């Protein structure tokens, strides 16, 4: 436990914390930020991991990160190592990255390629579907290999996105999102893209403050000069703040998109998913520093360099910017009550050549700067919330509707799960 965790233990144990969490959520003032323990108490954090991150569908990465048989990448959902791998039939699968012998982590690299999965400890060997093939020389006559396959996690893909659910039973509410992603991502042909570059940033802040910060652009004018060269501050095409100039720009752009068969109508699936294609500033193409081309090769079947940015939200842990010549995906993974890993990945057409068609430094510049600015904002938010003087403050219903939606989703989801499950005993 670090110093922050020790300072912020408010409850005697995990069970009292569950009762208290339910009480805090039921008693919270709607359209206000949350009570302090929900942002910094380690017991509360543990409950969120159990009830949200170990039960809900999470965004983990893109299918083009594992283009061929045996390609894999790894991630950690709290204390759970997870492995994403493409099997011999082309299916993307997810497994708990822990050996069925004595539990060693199986793959320690962030990504790689294997013929079979071999545990580094005693070389138990699994095929790409998780079946145990080989378990040393003498495990006894009663040992049954078929009972010691890797533990799978639920895994679904659509439009190039990979979602994983670690729960025993996965919520059955993904079908509408998956159908929308297949439809809205079709122009991008994500299977034929490649990862150009990725970054990992550890932020000293609660994961919800990362998401809250992303859900509004109220802070943009004060903090994001690079981003605002291309991004318009509205969060929706029907934003009440949108002026006549924007509306005319949107009308022209959406007429082009309609003619080209580029989906752009706003789609939401509950509060969890939201897809909206927003035009970028007039005269700009993509989120580079000056708005000029990021990659000479356009994505998929796209012909128009001005597709704006299709923003895709997936709560609890992802937002994305799909543009004409590259896409940027963001993944948020909580580490502790006051630490969060933010991973950003830039994808381009798989045939684009680095240094010829695109320059990684140019692609990264705006979101490197923006991520750094957002990290500072979210960390300062955390430090202020830790103060004895903090009290929940009001969200603006116009500028911060996205934050309100996130907090409502979070609060409803937690109460739903708290109501149905018994507290953990270990
Ligand atoms: O661009 C984003 O991803 C979000 C939405 C608006 C503010 N923020 C930077
Ligand atoms: Fe994996 Fe022993 S722990 S082979
Ligand atoms: Fe920001």
Q: What is the pLDDT of residues 192-233, one digit of tens each?
A: 999 999 999 999 999 999 999 999 999 999 999 999 999 998
Q: Indicate if ligand 2 lies below 6 Å from the C-beta of 124.
A: yes
Q: Which domain holds residue 209?
A: 175-386
What is the predicted pLDDT for the residue at 317? 98
Closest ligand by atom to 232 CA: 1
Q: How far is the CA of 220 from the centre of ligand 3 (A)?
A: 6
Residue 90 has pLDDT above 80, yes or no: yes
The better pLDDT of the pair 136, 393 is held by 393
Q: Pairing mode, if any, of strands 161-165 and 309-314? A: unpaired
Picking from 110, 127, 155, the residue at the C-terminal end of a domain is 155
Q: Is residue 35 part of a domain?
A: no
Are 180 and 151 within one domain? no
Residue that terminates a domain, selected from 104, 123, 155: 155
Tell me: do 298 and 345 sit in the same domain: yes
Q: Is the pLDDT confidence value at 391 over 70?
A: yes
Q: Pick from 155, 189, 213: which residue ends a domain?
A: 155
For position 208, which CATH number holds?
A: 3.90.380.10
Pocket of ligand 2 contains residue 126 by CB under 6 Å: no
Residue 197 and residue 308 in one domain: yes
What CATH number corresponds to the domain at position 92?
2.102.10.10
Residue nearest to atom 8 of ligand 1 (CA): 214
User: Same structural domain for residues 318 and 223?
Assistant: yes
Residue 23 lies in a domain: no
pLDDT, average across residues 30-40: 97
Q: Averaged over 393-405, what is the pLDDT?
A: 96
> Does some domain include residue 394?
no
Three-class secondary structure assignment of the chain: CCHHHHHCCCCCCHHHHHHHHHHHHHHCCCCECCCCHHHHCHHHHHHHHHHHHCCCCEEEEEHHHCCCCCEEEEEEECCEEEEEEECCCCCEEEEECECCCCCCECCCCCEEECCCEECCCCCCEECCCCCEEECCCCCCCCCCHHHCCCCEEEEEEECCEEEEECCCCCCCCCHHHHHHHHHHHHHHCHHHEEEEEEEEEEECCCHHHHHHHHCCCCCHHHHCCCHHHCCCCCCCCCCCCCCHHHHHHHHHHHHHHHHHCCCCCCEEECCCEEEEEECCCCCCCCCCCCCCCCECCCCCCCCCCCCCEEEEEECCCEEEEECCCCEEEEEEEEEECCEEEEEEEEEEECCCCECCCECHHHHHHHHHHHHHHHHHHHHHHHHHHCCCCCCCCECCCCCCHHHHHHHHHHHHHHHHHHHHCCCCCC
Instruction: Specify whether 145 is located in the same domain as 244.
Output: no
**Same domain assignment for residues 109 and 216:** no
Question: For residue 225, which of 370, 374, 363 has the smallest C-alpha distance?
Answer: 370
Atom 9 (ligand 1) nearest CA: 214
pLDDT at 13: 81
Looking from the CA of residue 220, the nearest atom of ligand 1 is: 7
Q: Which atom of ligand 2 is found nearest the CA of 123?
A: 4
Residues 260 and 203 both lie in one domain: yes
Average pLDDT on 105-114 reads 98
- pLDDT of 262 above 60: yes
The whole-number pLDDT of residue 426 equals 44
Domain assignment present for 185: yes
pLDDT of 235 higher than 90 = no
Q: Which atom of ligand 1 is nearest to the CA of 227?
A: 9
Residue 109 lies in a domain: yes
Q: Give yes or no for residue 102 CB within 6 A of ligand 2.
A: yes
Same domain, 149 and 288: no
Residues 150 and 219 placed together within one structural domain of the fold: no
Q: Whose CA is nearest to atom 7 of ligand 1?
A: 217
Same domain, 191 and 272: yes
Mean per-residue pLDDT of the chain: 95
Model confidence pLDDT, tens digit, residues 354-377: 999 999 999 999 999 999 999 999
Please check the confidence at residue 171 and state whether its pLDDT lies above 90: yes
Percent of the chain at pLDDT above 90?
A: 90
- pLDDT for 424 beyond 60: no
Nearest CA to ligand 2 atom 4: 122
Ligand 1: list residues with CB < 6 Å: 214, 217, 220, 231, 235, 319
* 144 plus 215 within the same structural domain: no
Q: 301 and 352: one domain?
A: yes
User: Looking at the CA of 227, which ligand is closest?
Assistant: 1
> Which atom belonging to ligand 2 lies closest to the Cα atom of 106?
1
Atom 2 of ligand 2: nearest residue by CA position: 122
Please tell me which residue, 320 or 423, carries the higher pLDDT value. 320
Q: Give me the pLDDT at residue 316, please.
A: 98
Q: Does residue 104's CB lie within 6 angstroms of at least one atom of ligand 2?
A: yes
pLDDT digits (tens, 9 = 90+) for 274-333: 999 999 999 999 999 999 999 999 999 999 999 999 999 999 999 999 999 999 999 999
**pLDDT for the residue 396:** 95
Q: Domain for residue 98, yes or no?
A: yes
pLDDT (mean) for 405-411: 98
Ligand nearest to the CA of 209: 3
Ligand 1 atom nearest to 374, measured from its CA? 9
**What's the average model confidence in pLDDT over 412-418?**
96
How many domains are contained in the chain? 2
């Amino acid at each position: 436990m670090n110093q922050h965790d020790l300072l912020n233990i408010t409850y005697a144990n995990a069970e009292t914390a569950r009762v208290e969490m339910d009480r805090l959520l039921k008693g919270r003032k709607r359209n206000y930020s949350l009570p302090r323990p929900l942002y910094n108490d380690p017991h509360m954090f543990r409950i969120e991991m159990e009830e949200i991150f170990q039960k809900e569908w999470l965004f983990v990465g893109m299918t083009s990160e594992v283009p061929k048989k045996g390609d894999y990448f790894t991630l950690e959902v709290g204390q759970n190592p997870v492995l994403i791998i493409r099997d011999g039939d082309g299916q993307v699968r997810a497994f708990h990255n822990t050996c069925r012998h004595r539990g060693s982590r199986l793959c320690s690299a962030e990504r790689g390629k294997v013929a079979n999965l071999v545990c580094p400890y005693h070389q138990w060997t699994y095929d790409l579907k998780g079946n145990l093939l080989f378990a040393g020389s003498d495990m006894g006559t009663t040992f049954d290999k078929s009972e010691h396959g890797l533990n799978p996690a639920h895994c679904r893909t659509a439009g190039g996105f990979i979602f994983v659910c670690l729960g025993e039973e996965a919520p059955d509410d993904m079908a509408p999102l998956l159908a929308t992603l297949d439809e809205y991502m079709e122009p991008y042909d994500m299977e034929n893209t490649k990862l150009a570059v990725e970054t990992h940033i550890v932020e000293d802040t609660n994961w919800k403050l990362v998401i809250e910060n992303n859900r509004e652009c109220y802070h943009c004018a004060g903090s994001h000069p690079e981003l605002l060269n291309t991004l318009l501050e509205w969060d929706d095409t029907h934003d009440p703040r949108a002026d006549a100039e924007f509306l005319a720009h949107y009308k022209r752009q959406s007429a082009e998109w309609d003619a080209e068969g580029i989906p752009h109508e706003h789609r939401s699936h509950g509060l969890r998913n939201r897809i909206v294609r927003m035009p970028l500033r007039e005269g700009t193409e993509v989120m580079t520093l000056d708005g000029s081309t990021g990659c000479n090769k356009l994505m998929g079947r796209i012909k128009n360099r001005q597709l704006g940015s299709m923003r895709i939200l997936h709560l609890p842990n992802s937002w994305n910017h799909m543009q004409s010549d590259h896409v940027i995906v963001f993944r948020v993974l909580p580490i502790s009550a006051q630490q969060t890993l933010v991973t950003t990945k830039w994808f381009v057409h798989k045939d684009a050549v680095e240094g010829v068609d695109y320059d990684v430094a140019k692609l990264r510049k705006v979101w490197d700067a923006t991520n750094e600015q957002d990290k500072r904002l979210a960390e300062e938010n955390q430090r202020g919330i830790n103060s004895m003087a903090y009290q929940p403050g009001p969200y603006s219903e116009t500028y911060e509707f996205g934050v309100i939606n996130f907090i409502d989703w979070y609060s409803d989801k937690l109460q739903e799960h708290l109501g149905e499950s018994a507290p953990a005993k270990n």
